[in-house]
Amino acid sequence: MADIFVSYRRGDSAGHTGRLVDCLIRHFGGEAVFQDVQSIRVGSRWDDAIREGVRGCRVLVAVIGRDWLSPGSDGLRRIDDPQDPVRQEILAALERGVAVVPVLVEGARMPAETALPEDLRALARWQAHELSDSRWAFDTERLMQMIERVIGVAPVERTAAGGAGTGGSRLAVTGVAGLAVLVGAAWLMWPAAGVVEHTPPPADAPMTSPQPPLAPVNFEGSWYDEDAANWNINVRQDKVEINHTAPGSGTSIGYAEGTIRDRTISFDYVVMAPDEPHLNGQLVLSDDGSRLTGVLSDVRNGGNTRVLLHRRSR
């Protein structure tokens, strides 16, 4: 079972969540991190896999963007639906006494207790951690140090005994009593509801476990998705053109135009078929520059489709 379960809404924070998961995997190892798009095998029941993931985790990281509380296509808030997957994930963690870390992205604010369903109001008592695009490396480093030191999840480079790791990450605590002490300490160390932990880095403060440097921002070139379809991206200053074509035949599937901000492309997507919906999209470049993660959103009904692109080797 993975020690770290990442909960998020695809239409709210899929790009930033993918980037965060990349950082967590590099630090703690792939076996230690559960994210639906990477951890659920083809042919598995989605709801069963999610339930098992929450049941076996040591900490749940709840990624919250600006639209986390927004209504769905029916005009009702998704968080108010008892069958909402995000609500079920967080509620299961709270009921099990698992440590919960709300992570705020894109300038989102921590939801107030009164804005949450009654059975989720305990979420607001866990201190939030903010990830900003301008200080991403520093913010993610502090988050991982907190998970390592307070929750007790060991980084992939070493085991609980202090020796060399074997590739997976395991809990650096022996026995249920040790875990209870750590989770209790986490509760006492984190202040009351609504307080966001975010301290600017000291000018001369060394990082104890520095991350690899970010790859340069480069979207240009050929990419492919999970269906082997091609996504050719052309960049002209801060403008982007995307041609989406079928594998093999090269038949056009869709066309998009958009803009770049930092490591994110935002674009309007037109499907090359009659009566097909108009879509908005967003793609976020991974730290190593090898992947684009994001969503396509149906303008009419609010439905979302996950997108994961891999850069083709030159």
| Same structural domain, 18 and 157 | yes
Residue 183 has pLDDT above 60, yes or no: no
Structural domain includes residue 216: no
Same domain, 45 and 151: yes
Q: Is residue 283 part of a domain?
A: yes
Asked if the model's pLDDT at residue 210 lies above 50, the reply is: yes
pLDDT in tens, 160-176: 444 434 444 433 333 33
CB atoms near residue 117 (< 10 Å): 15
Three-class DSSP category at 20: helix
Is the domain of 274 the same as that of 137? no
Say whether pLDDT at 64 is over 90.
yes
In a domain, 214, yes or no: no
Beta-carbon contacts of 245 under 8 Å, excluding residues fewer than 6 positions away, are 229, 230, 232, 251, 252, 253
Is the distance from CB of 258 to CB of 267 less than 8 angstroms?
yes
Q: Rounded to whole angstroms, how far apart are CA atoms 60 and 34?
A: 9
Tell me the pLDDT tens digit for each residue of 2-55. 899 999 988 888 888 888 988 898 899 988 998 764 544 545 555 666 777 788
Contacts of 265 (CB under 8 A, 6+ apart): 219, 233, 240, 242, 258, 259, 281, 282, 283, 284, 292, 294
Q: Does 33 map to a domain?
A: yes
106, two tokens: 């894109």
Are both 141 and 239 inside the same structural domain? no
- In whole angstroms, give the CA distance from residue 145 to residue 174: 19
pLDDT over 70 percentage in the chain = 74
- What's the number of domains the chain is made of? 2
Q: Dihedral of CA 109/304/134/140: which sign?
A: positive
Tokens coding 125: 């008592």
- Alpha-carbon distance of 23 to 32, in angstroms, equals 12
Tell me what pLDDT residue 148 has.
Answer: 87
How far apart CA 103 and CA 196 sit, in angstroms, is: 9
Using the predicted structure, report yes or no on whether residue 271 has a pLDDT greater than 80.
Answer: yes
CATH of the domain at 306: 2.40.128.30
Asked if the structure places residue 101 within a domain, the reply is yes
Give the DSSP letter of residue 122. G
Distance between CA atoms of 209 and 101, rounded to whole angstroms? Answer: 21
Question: CATH number, domain at 157?
Answer: 3.40.50.10140
Average pLDDT, the chain: 78
Task: Give residue-wise pLDDT tens across range 135-152.
Answer: 888 899 999 988 888 788
Residue 116 domain boundaries: 4-197
Q: What is the C-alpha separation between 54 and 193, in angstroms, rounded?
A: 23
**22 lies in some domain:** yes
Torsion of CA 110, 114, 120, 126, to 10 degrees: 40
Query: Is there a single domain that holds both residue 47 and residue 100?
Result: yes
Six token digits for residue 91: 């509620």
What is the DSSP pairing of strand 304-311 with strand 291-298? antiparallel
pTM of the model: 0.58
Residues 307 and 254 grouped into a single domain: yes
- Locate all alpha helices (DSSP H) within 57-119, ordered by sequence: 85-96
- Report the alpha-carbon angle 12-51-122, nearest 5: 65
36 and 174 within one domain: yes
Examine the pLDDT at 261 and tell me if it is beyond 50: yes
